[in-house]
């Protein structure tokens, strides 16, 4: 049906790619004879179809052709289930797209769910991260009475259930994320709240986050995401050159260019950071990823090394903070409470403390 609908059509995103390795070599796209081109127009999975176009005019042209192709094969487009979303380029203003099917306007949305992931018109993962946290929180809450608070279940079993039911829900689809530091802080904070609840560690005990993770035998969400993305990158690099994921992984827009000034973070920027943190050479990682078992072993060792470095850095940071606190100016003995003998650092602190010794006011 698609071949009939889009024959002799060149609408879509023009992609140029080169799949012979060297992902981080910025000059590899300058070799004219080795660079190939393709058009990314439709993404199919089961009975779902996502059409892509660089502008509203081409999208309307695609919908007209798609509608004609459906009519030729006796199919009907459900306008209630079909939505349109516009993702403006950085710096461009957002406007609601107007896409029609046989004169009937499609519902324009700012976000929608495709294959379990939430896509947003802002072209970032803010909405997806919030949705993942909300879904994982619901999964954690449903197991509170039956698993977390049940005394007959061992801690080891509870942690296995957490990894299987909560952590996998939290990180669904993280292989393709481009997270910023704020996203990692959100996800790490959620996991630590869950683990403190599960391990029965109240915040008043002042147990550091590194100790909580050590007791649970888990890694930070940051390390898990980077490990998962490196595994996915190795899987894509081993794909045949004709696969769309590999073409997009090693490709770029033929006509697009990045704006001047601060740039948006790209997927390969995250990948390069992960390789450096895991002590893997970014220039030769493809040769190591060619062997699946050796690649996974290198990732596992790198993740353990990164976790040790992160824990050491956090420990040194706490020690420096304690040294600053210990070296602070001692309290002035002149500001001593006459009732209980407590020494305050300043007069305003003593005045505030004396209120606790006042007799209760009669009703």
User: What is the distance between the alpha carbons of residues 198 and 187, in angstroms, rounded to a whole number?
Assistant: 17
Task: State the first-to-last Cα distance of the chain, in angstroms, to the nearest integer.
Answer: 82
- 88, part of any domain: yes
- pLDDT tens digit sequence for 301-312: 999 999 999 999
How far is C-alpha 212 from the geometric centre of its chain's CA atoms? 23
Cα-based distances in Å from 55 to 134, 315, 321: 33, 51, 53
- 87, part of any domain: yes
- 81, part of any domain: yes
pLDDT score of 331 more than 60 = no
User: What is the distance between the alpha carbons of residues 128 and 122, in angstroms, rounded to a whole number?
Assistant: 11
Nearest to 187 by CA among 209, 170, 202, 208: 170
pLDDT score of 6 more than 90 = no
- 321, part of any domain: no
Cα-based distances in Å from 119 to 113, 131, 177, 313: 6, 11, 11, 35
State whether the Cα torsion 132-136-137-142 is positive or negative.
positive
Q: Can you give the pLDDT at residue 332?
A: 62
Q: Can you give the pLDDT at residue 328?
A: 59
For a pLDDT cut of 70, what percent of the chain falls above it?
A: 97
Q: Read off φ and ψ for residue 150, nearest 5 degrees.
A: -85, 125
- 73 plus 108 within the same structural domain: yes
Containing structural domain, residue 352: 331-363
pLDDT score of 189 more than 90 = yes
Query: What's the whole-number mean pLDDT along residues 128-139?
Result: 96
Tell whether pTM > 0.95.
Answer: no
Cα-based distances in Å from 94 to 89, 123, 199, 349: 9, 12, 46, 52
- 135 plus 105 within the same structural domain: no
Q: Read off φ and ψ for residue 242, nearest 5 degrees.
A: -80, -5
- 133 plus 206 within the same structural domain: yes
- 1 plus 114 within the same structural domain: yes
Q: Can you give the pLDDT at residue 326?
A: 67
- 131 plus 155 within the same structural domain: yes
- 54 plus 129 within the same structural domain: no
pLDDT score of 273 more than 90 = yes
- pLDDT tens digit sequence for 39-85: 888 888 777 888 999 889 999 999 998 898 888 888 888 888 899 99
Two structure tokens written together for 308 = 């040790």
- 201, part of any domain: yes
- 81 plus 183 within the same structural domain: no
- 132, part of any domain: yes
Q: Can you give the pLDDT at residue 263?
A: 80
Query: What's the whole-number mean pLDDT along residues 114-132?
Result: 91
- 7 plus 102 within the same structural domain: yes
User: What is the distance between the alpha carbons of residues 174 and 128, in angstroms, rounded to a whole number?
Assistant: 10
- 296, part of any domain: no
* Of 15-19, 21-25, 228-232, 325-329, highest mean pLDDT: 228-232
- 116 plus 128 within the same structural domain: no
User: What is the distance between the alpha carbons of residues 184 and 230, in angstroms, rounded to a whole number?
Assistant: 17
Last residue in a domain, options 218, 247, 270: 218
- pLDDT tens digit sequence for 230-249: 999 999 999 999 999 999 99
- pLDDT tens digit sequence for 283-294: 999 999 999 999
Radius of gyration, alpha carbons of the chain? 28
Last residue in a domain, options 218, 233, 253: 218
- 131 plus 106 within the same structural domain: no
Query: How many domains does the structure of the chain reveal?
Result: 3
For a pLDDT cut of 90, what percent of the chain falls above it?
A: 53
């Amino acid at each position: 049906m698609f071949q009939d609908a889009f024959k002799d059509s060149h609408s879509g995103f023009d992609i140029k790619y080169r799949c012979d390795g060297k992902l981080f070599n910025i000059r590899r796209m300058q070799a004219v004879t080795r660079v190939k081109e393709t058009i990314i127009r439709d993404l199919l999975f089961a009975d779902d179809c996502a059409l892509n176009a660089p502008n509203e005019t081409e999208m309307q042209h695609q919908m007209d052709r798609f509608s004609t192709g459906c009519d030729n094969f006796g199919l009907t487009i459900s306008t209630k289930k079909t939505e349109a979303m516009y993702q403006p380029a950085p710096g461009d203003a957002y406007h609601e797209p107007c896409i029609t099917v046989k004169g009937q306007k499609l519902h324009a949305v700012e976000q929608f769910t495709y294959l379990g992931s939430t896509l947003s018109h802002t072209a970032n993962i803010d909405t997806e991260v919030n949705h993942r946290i909300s879904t994982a929180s619901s999964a954690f809450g449903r197991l509170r009475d039956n698993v977390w608070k049940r005394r007959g279940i061992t801690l080891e079993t509870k942690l296995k259930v957490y990894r299987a039911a909560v952590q996998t829900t939290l990180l669904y689809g993280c292989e393709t994320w481009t997270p910023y530091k704020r996203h990692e802080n959100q996800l790490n904070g959620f996991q630590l709240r869950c683990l403190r609840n599960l391990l029965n560690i109240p915040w008043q005990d002042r147990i550091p986050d590194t100790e909580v993770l050590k007791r649970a035998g888990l890694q930070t969400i940051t390390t898990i995401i980077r490990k998962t993305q490196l595994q996915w990158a190795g899987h894509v690099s081993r794909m045949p050159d004709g696969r769309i994921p590999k073409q997009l992984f090693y490709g770029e827009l033929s006509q697009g260019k990045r704006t001047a000034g601060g740039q948006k973070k790209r997927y390969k920027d995250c990948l390069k950071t992960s390789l450096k943190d895991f002590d893997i050479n970014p220039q030769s990682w493809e040769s190591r990823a060619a062997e699946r078992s050796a690649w996974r072993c290198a990732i596992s060792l790198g993740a353990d090394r990164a976790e040790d470095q992160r824990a050491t850095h956090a420990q040194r940071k706490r020690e420096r903070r304690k040294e600053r606190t210990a070296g602070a100016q001692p309290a002035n003995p002149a500001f001593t409470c006459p009732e209980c003998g407590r020494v305050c650092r300043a007069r305003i602190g003593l005045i505030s403390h004396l209120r606790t010794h006042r007799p209760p006011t009669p009703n």
